[in-house]
A and B are shown apart, each in its own frame.
Chain A
């Protein structure tokens, strides 16, 4: 990891730290359960798990306020949970049921929540980036100080439309934070094999967009970078690029055997850099929580996740009439 930034001393409270722990653990356990349900045939199609990357969304969300927007790619379950969407609705969408966020019509890659300002869930690599800039455009047009987080991966960072968007976002001072979640593999192609220069945070330089690299396994470092980027955007100074170095433990999707990297590489990351373990250590060594406190949180989360799985299994499939609804807004 070439992460240059670590937050040795951060002004977070014990409560905040506990909240991050809880939010990251929820994503981890939720994704593990989703993997299980996929294995049981309850979830179909593509399913991209976020395990290993939890600190990214939790850290970034820590600097948001009501009204801020977020949009991402198909690896989206973590983003939805982090912005407060209901695990039941997310899981039921994964199983394609009526109780899902899109009534079962979107699936793992296509979920939305107007209430939580979550704008999807997009399956075409990179397409969410101009859309995110467009959301920021709408806020600037309306004259409020909301900020949009447009998440994309190291793979998407090579899509042409991202640079079209960088140009216009900078030209028009759009309040958008381009978050490059660099998990180092674009499906099976490592960053070294796909990217001419290693530092993605410099990709905005040609457009005059400031960029920063962040240790994405450290939630506090991510939070700090997020605060800085958000302040920049809210002040009307235009877009910001954050390259958040992270790692996904699982394959690209459920059907990926991940032969392009060694088991040792993954294990080393889990052992040494795991974002949840890092916070757990901080909580315990700082005496902000006891083993028992953390056990209680683990238990709560397990209950939430199990309940979401039960809900997702019990919720009926959408009525066949749903095939013909929501095609047109006035239909």
Chain B
């Protein structure tokens, strides 16, 4: 019987890929374990092996095809003599079905829809600047290349940053450009290399430390906090640590409890650190350049799921974004949704759905969590009189809690409803797909929270 070969998922976050090359042709016999194709994921080019024996009946996706969704049939394998031309191309695309199911749950609009228009104004570049589309991954890479070109004292250190080209390809090409003196592969020893990098910063260099994920930075957190963050103060201003600790933070996809945690609130608590968590590629680039130039230790929280997302980035010779300046992503009048990092995905989706229901939400992307741009949040809340915060991290002692407390202290009389914090659930991250989806925040939860504070 003919079986369909499906486009495989070759990384936890892969949604689609490029079918780079077929190594077999129609009519070829294949055995289990034969390499039949090369597939480019968001991270690397992978070899795709046959699992079953048979004859390659039909190749459904030509080599060179980009954007092939996971689970799309790419070829048909059958037995000798079997007619495979009639095999159906029906693909069980689970994700689509799920999306349709969720869409069906959204109730019909109760009020006249309002306009949903993400703001195209940015305070960070002049109007009319040429823009180009770029992934967050490319933006981070470009920022590091530019800053390493600009300043000889900047170097990159971490696991697999050099020869492997980065576990998530953020440092791709850097070793070739800058050599092994400045792109340094470390052993798997976070505590040690975080300390060595901090010492190098005391000694006058400007290290960028890549953690393969921030989960592993827990091994190094003593050096980050007790050494990097506090020395300037303890030395009466004599010496500090101008450096960047960066890497993916928060939940990726299906990687379980030890690899899925957001550290935004942890680091945002520490005086002496600056904490950045960008959402767009433009912010990733502009803020990374600022982070590398900053004379303080900066925690730069990236997200694996965001790496492959594309955004418009201004084409400028030297594009930086200052810390402590939030971005109003959508202007609105009825409620303020405050978020940052990947939380913005839910915030923006919710705002769009709410617009259809006649609720005008203003969406603020904090971008930096230390310093926090309180003024932009307070100004918005004074206009909308309601606020919902959105983040993927744990709910206790969250950034949202802190924003709520600040609003209560500074704008209590403007509030028409209690502030609601939408956060990840108070549980270690489960592995099962359905449980994981519920452990994180959902757009529906944000929509419900907004309806609650707007009494709809």
Interface residues of A (CB under 8 A from B): 69, 71, 100-106, 110-114, 119-124, 127, 129-139, 141-142, 160-161, 164-165, 167-168, 171, 325-330
Contact = CB atoms under 8 A, between A and B. Distances in A.
Nearest to B185: A171
B77 to A, nearest CB: 48
Contacts of A123: 226
Contacts of B272: 327-328
A328 B232 contact: yes
Contacts of A101: 235-236, 238
A326 B237 contact: yes
Contacts of B239: 112, 114, 119
B189 A137 contact: no
Contact of B231 (A112, A133, A161): A112
A102 B187 contact: no
B189 A127 contact: no
Interface of B: 155, 181, 186-187, 189, 191-205, 222-223, 226-227, 231-240, 242, 271-272, 274, 294-296
A327 B201 contact: no
Given A141-B205, A329-B296, A114 B238 contact: yes
Contact of A164 (B191, B203, B271): B191
Contacts of A142: 204
B235 A131 contact: no
Interface centre among B186, B200, B242, B294 (most CB of A within 10 A): B200
A201 B274 CA distance: 40
B234 A121 contact: yes
A102 B230 CA distance: 12
Given A141-B181, A160-B191, A124 B202 contact: no
A105 B234 contact: yes
Contacts of A134: 195-203
B191 A130 contact: yes
Contacts of A120: 231, 234-235
B240 A131 contact: no
Given A110-B235, A137-B199, A130 B187 contact: no
Q: Give 9 nearest A-B pairs by CB, closest first.
A: A134-B199, A130-B195, A164-B192, A138-B203, A329-B295, A131-B199, A102-B236, A112-B235, A103-B236
A225 B227 CA distance: 30
A107 B186 CA distance: 34
Interface of A is mostly: mixed
Given A123-B226, A161-B191, A106 B196 contact: no
A137 B234 contact: no
A105 B200 CA distance: 23
A329 B196 contact: no
A164 B236 contact: no
A111 B235 CA distance: 6
Contacts of B199: 71, 119, 130-138
A120 B227 CA distance: 10
Nearest to A107: B234
Contacts of A141: 155, 181, 200, 205
Given A168-B187, A326-B236, 20 more contacts: A69-B203, A101-B235, A112-B231, A112-B234, A119-B199, A127-B222, A129-B195, A130-B195, A131-B227, A133-B196, A133-B199, A134-B200, A134-B203, A138-B202, A161-B195, A167-B192, A168-B193, A325-B237, A326-B235, A329-B242
B61 to A, nearest CB: 45
A329 B229 CA distance: 11
Contacts of A327: 232-233, 271-272
Nearest to B201: A134
A306 B88 CA distance: 95
Nearest to A115: B238
6 contacts: A130-B195, A131-B227, A138-B202, A168-B187, A329-B240, A329-B294
Contacts of B155: 141
A160 B227 CA distance: 17
A130 B200 contact: no
Contacts of A139: 203
A168 B205 contact: no
A118 B195 CA distance: 17
Nearest to A103: B236
A123 to B, nearest CB: 7
Interface centre among B186, B198, B223, B237 (most CB of A within 10 A): B237
B195 A127 contact: yes
A60 B191 CA distance: 28
A122 B192 CA distance: 16
A69 B193 CA distance: 19
A65 B223 CA distance: 29
A138 B232 contact: no
Contacts of A104: 236
B235 A130 contact: no
A130 to B, nearest CB: 3
Contacts of B234: 102, 105-106, 110, 112, 120-121
B232 A329 contact: yes
A329 B191 CA distance: 24
A134 B272 CA distance: 20
A101 B235 CA distance: 7
Contacts of B202: 119, 131, 134-135, 138
